[in-house]
Amino acid sequence: MSTLEIKGLHVSVITEEGAKEILRGVDLTIKSGETHAIMGPNGSGKSTLAYSIAGHPKYTITSGTVTLDGADVLAMTVDERAKAGLFLAMQYPVEVPGVSVSNFLRTAVTAIRGEAPKVRTWVGEVKAAMTELSMDPAFAERNVNEGFSGGEKKRHEILQMELLKPKIAILDETDSGLDVDALRIVSEGVNRVKSNQNLGIMLITHYTRILRYIQPDFVHVFAGGRIVEEGGPELAAKLEENGYAEYTTA
Amino acid sequence: MALATTNYLTPTGREEAWRFTPLNRLGGLHDSSVSLNDRISLTYQSLPSGVEISEVNASDLPSIATTDDQVNLRVRETVTQVLRLKIANNAELTEPIFLNRKVVGMAPEASRVLIHAGINSHATIVVENTGDAIIAEEIEIKLEAGANLRFITLQEWDSKAVHVARHHAILEKDSTFTSYVVTVGGSVVRILPTVEYRGPGTSADLCGLYFATDGQHLEHRVHVEHAVPNAKSRVNYKGALNGISARSVWIGDVFIKAAAQGTDTYELNRNLLLSDGARADSVPNLEIETGDIVGAGHASTTGRFDDEQLFYLSSRGIPAEEARRLVIRGFFAEIVSKLHLADVEERIMNRIDLELATVNS
């Protein structure tokens, strides 16, 4: 049982006009097996929250704490956060020319597990995970994210999540750019990892569409750099109906 | 014994062709007052059938290309015995031919090699340079009609080596020339890969890789002259620099003469600066005298590590140092993987890891 606890998180970025505060006091607790949907309009700071937890150097934490099972996440390097059990599925996965998917996956899994996986079981493990995500085996020989379609990039993110077995995963707009079939495949992948590994999920999205496939336990409305309303799945239905207008025009 | 030279001037560094080169570090290779030893310095283990290597009097084997490069002219004046490698017509060599540099010390020396690829022959030649030497070199390569030659030179020198070389390839019709210039060692290395087209249907693919660290000046000046119709050239050089005094120079001169209709050419140079102070000069140069061509283009980029790539890899648990290693191996993989020599590829990648790990203060 793991707990990611975010308390009073304030985050700034440096712009040409100086430091600009994006997150203005975020409080959120996610436990194993729970799915929290973070919903909000564009520019509300949802992605900043995701990248700040993962440790992107662009973001400066000005106050607040983030802990995973009591350990200070903000004191960890980016790779240490992943080793501690955090995973960020990115909205825009980055191309890494000349590095094959298979080499990348093996290097990452070796780093996370602390030892190289046994060759025989590893090949089967990757193959099985790829099959479940309807990925062509030839995919493993392509360079990381290079020339991938939107759907392929997102499947590749979920493939990594399946193999790296995090405790808490942050899915940043995983639904963006997916057609219905891809959305279903990716969502099934997320649900499978969740039930197999008792994963805790922070599901960041703008639209309610993905919530038809991934059932949230909690819905948080994010606006102006903080959570402005919380509820159960019924809150998503209300957002579907009314949009974010009431949160942004206040 | 070499005679005093008379028909060229010692470069001063003000000439366009020499303005980037640290002449005071050339060990006298360019200096008419310094005599060069005359010695054949390449050796070989075994030769497959279809290949013949011999030492020929220079007077019986004049150079086949013209040049105004001063060091090259000194080589021609100095060398009395030329190493000639002949590949028989129609020979299909499945295994590469390795030529190894035999180093005997730090006295400046000169070397001339002539490679002759027979009609419709198929071969790979690998020149391996290791150790420390001060050497000026001319390698001329003649591809007869329909020949296909892969020519690989590896500059894995030790840290004091000075190497100034010109590789001149002459392509008769329908021949295909591929060159890989890999320069990871040496104090000063200056290589001039040049291509001269003599017939249509010819193709040259010039690839290079260099990695300069502190104290290294690595210079590659590619010269491709399209003078006949329907020939193709591709140039792709990639470099990395790590260290405050690391220097690289890449010049890519591509000329499309009026007679060269149907030319298809593209040249590319990419540099990665891995530390402050490192300097990469990159000058692509395209001159076109006819508009009747298939395509002509060039690109040059010099930049730093992509932080987003490093973040992506680190966010998957990969430590920063290993992430850098993966990215740099990936950067060079495009060139290295095409060598199709497993041992050499592994050796170069390991050398790249070492160059990257060099601590830069």
The pLDDT tens digits for B89-145 are 999 999 999 999 998 889 999 999 999 999 999 999 999 999 999 999 999 999 999
- Do residue A108 and residue B313 have CB atoms under 8 angstroms apart? yes
* Percent of chain B scoring above 70 in pLDDT: 97
Mean pLDDT by 10 residues, chain A (250 residues): 97 93 97 97 94 97 98 98 98 95 97 94 94 93 94 96 97 93 95 96 94 96 96 92 81
Adjacent-strand bridge partners of B236: B207, B268
Q: According to DSSP H, which parts of B252-319 are helical?
A: 307-314
Contact assessment for residue A160 and residue A133, using Cβ atoms and an 8 Å cutoff: no
Q: Which of B38, B37, B46, B17 is nearest to B83 (CA)?
A: B38
Distance between CA A203 and CA A188 in Å, rounded?
A: 14
- Do residue B306 and residue A111 have CB atoms under 8 angstroms apart? no
| Average pLDDT score, chain B | 94
- Provide the angle, in degrees to the nearest 10, between the axes of the packed helices B307-314 and B320-336: 120
Closest Cα in chain A, distance from residue B322 (Å): 9
For residue B318, the chain A residues in CB contact (below 8 A) are 79, 107-108, 111
pLDDT computed for residue A240 by the predictor:
87
Q: DSSP strand E in chain B: where?
A: 37-38, 42-43, 51-57, 81-87, 97-101, 109-117, 122-131, 134-143, 148-157, 162-171, 176-183, 188-197, 203-213, 217-226, 232-242, 247-256, 264-273, 279-288, 295-304
Q: Would residue B339 count as lying in a domain? A: no
pLDDT computed for residue B8 by the predictor:
62
3-state secondary structure of B171: strand
Distance between CA B239 and CA B246 in Å, rounded?
A: 11
Residues 6+ apart with CB under 8 A from B83: B40, B42, B53, B54, B55, B111, B112, B113, B114
**Count of domains forming chain B:** 1
Distance between CA A93 and CA A50 in Å, rounded?
A: 14
Which value, to the nearest 10 degrees, does the dihedral of the CA atoms of residues B117, B118, B122, B125 take? -20
Q: Would residue B353 count as lying in a domain? A: no
- Give tens-digit pLDDT for B161-192: 999 999 999 999 999 999 999 999 999 999 99
Give, in degrees to the nearest 5, the angle at Cα B237 between B232 and B240.
170
Contact assessment for residue A11 and residue A59, using Cβ atoms and an 8 Å cutoff: yes
Nearest-by-Cβ selection for B326 from A57, A81, A107: A107
Task: Report the DSSP pairing between strands B247-256 and B81-87.
Answer: unpaired
Q: Which of A51, A76, A99 to mutate to test the interface with B (most CBs of B within 10 A)?
A: A99
- Do residue A79 and residue B307 have CB atoms under 8 angstroms apart? no
Q: Would residue B9 count as lying in a domain? A: no
- Do residue B326 and residue A111 have CB atoms under 8 angstroms apart? no
Q: Would residue B298 count as lying in a domain? A: yes
> Average pLDDT, stretch B271-295?
95
- Do residue B312 and residue A94 have CB atoms under 8 angstroms apart? yes
Q: Which two tokens stand for residue B252?
A: 């890519």
Q: Which of B210, B208, B285 is nearest to B251 (CA)?
A: B285
Q: Would residue B355 count as lying in a domain? A: no
pLDDT computed for residue B3 by the predictor:
47
DSSP state of B107: S
For residue B330, the chain A residues in CB contact (below 8 A) are 96-99, 143
pLDDT computed for residue B240 by the predictor:
97
For residue A98, the chain B residues in CB contact (below 8 A) are 329-334
pLDDT computed for residue A5 by the predictor:
98
In angstroms, the first-to-last Cα distance of chain A is 39
pLDDT computed for residue B52 by the predictor:
97
Rg (alpha carbons) of chain B, rounded to whole number: 20
B7 touches chain A (CB under 8 A): no
pLDDT computed for residue B46 by the predictor:
87
Please report the number of interchain residue pairs, chain A to chain B, with beta-carbon separation below 8 angstroms: 81
For residue A55, the chain B residues in CB contact (below 8 A) are 314-315
Residues 6+ apart with CB under 8 A from B146: B119, B120, B173, B174, B175
Distance between CA A49 and CA A9 in Å, rounded?
A: 9
For residue B317, the chain A residues in CB contact (below 8 A) are 79, 82-83, 108, 111-112, 164
Q: Which of B68, B338, B49, B48 is nearest to B206 (CA)?
A: B338
Q: Which two tokens stand for residue A63?
A: 């106050």
pLDDT computed for residue B37 by the predictor:
96
- Do residue B329 and residue A160 have CB atoms under 8 angstroms apart? no
- Give tens-digit pLDDT for A98-134: 999 999 999 999 999 999 999 889 999 999 999 999 9
Contact assessment for residue A102 and residue A144, using Cβ atoms and an 8 Å cutoff: no
* Other beta carbons less than 10 A from residue A129's beta carbon: 20
Q: Which two tokens stand for residue A250?
A: 């206040």
- Give tens-digit pLDDT for B203-262: 999 999 999 999 999 999 999 999 999 999 999 999 999 999 999 999 999 999 999 999
φ, ψ of residue A11 in degrees (nearest 5): -135, 140
Task: Report the DSSP pairing between strands A59-68 and A3-15.
Answer: antiparallel
In angstroms, the first-to-last Cα distance of chain B is 46
Residue B355 pLDDT more than 50?
A: yes
For residue B322, the chain A residues in CB contact (below 8 A) are 107, 111
Q: Which domain holds residue B141?
A: 16-305
- Do residue B317 and residue A108 have CB atoms under 8 angstroms apart? yes
Distance between CA B332 and CA B236 in Å, rounded?
A: 11
Give one word for B129, left, alpha or beta, with left for phi > 0 and alpha for psi -120 to 50: beta
Q: Which of A51, A96, A162 to mutate to test the interface with B (most CBs of B within 10 A)?
A: A96
Provide the CB-side half-sphere exposure for B175 (13 A, CA): 31
Residues 6+ apart with CB under 8 A from A21: A10, A11, A12, A62, A225
Please give, one letter per residue, the 3-state secondary structure of chain A. CCEEEEEEEEEEEEECCEEEEEEEEEEEEEECCCEEEEECCCCCCHHHHHHHHHCCCCEEEEEEEEEECCEEHHHCCHHHHHHHCEEEECCCCCCEEEEEHHHHHHHHHHHHHCCCCCHHHHHHHHHHHHHHCCCCHHHHHCEECCCCCHHHHHHHHHHHHHHHCCCEEEEECCCCCCCHHHHHHHHHHHHHHHHHHCCEEEEEECCCHHHHCCCCCEEEEEECCEEEEEECHHHHHHHHHHCCHHHHCC
Adjacent-strand bridge partners of B195: B169, B224
Q: Would residue B340 count as lying in a domain? A: no
pLDDT computed for residue B4 by the predictor:
47
Residue B361 pLDDT more than 50?
A: no
Q: Would residue B263 count as lying in a domain? A: yes
Tell me the residue type at B251: I
Nearest-by-Cβ selection for B319 from A87, A94, A111: A111
Closest Cα in chain A, distance from residue B318 (Å): 6
Q: Which residue of A has its CA nearest to B333?
A: A98
- Provide the angle, in degrees to the nearest 10, between the axes of the packed helices A119-132 and A150-164: 140
Distance between CA A175 and CA A204 in Å, rounded?
A: 9
Residue B27 pLDDT more than 50?
A: yes
* Percent of chain B scoring above 90 in pLDDT: 93
Task: Judge if ipTM > 0.95.
Answer: yes
B321 touches chain A (CB under 8 A): no
Distance between CA A68 and CA A31 in Å, rounded?
A: 10
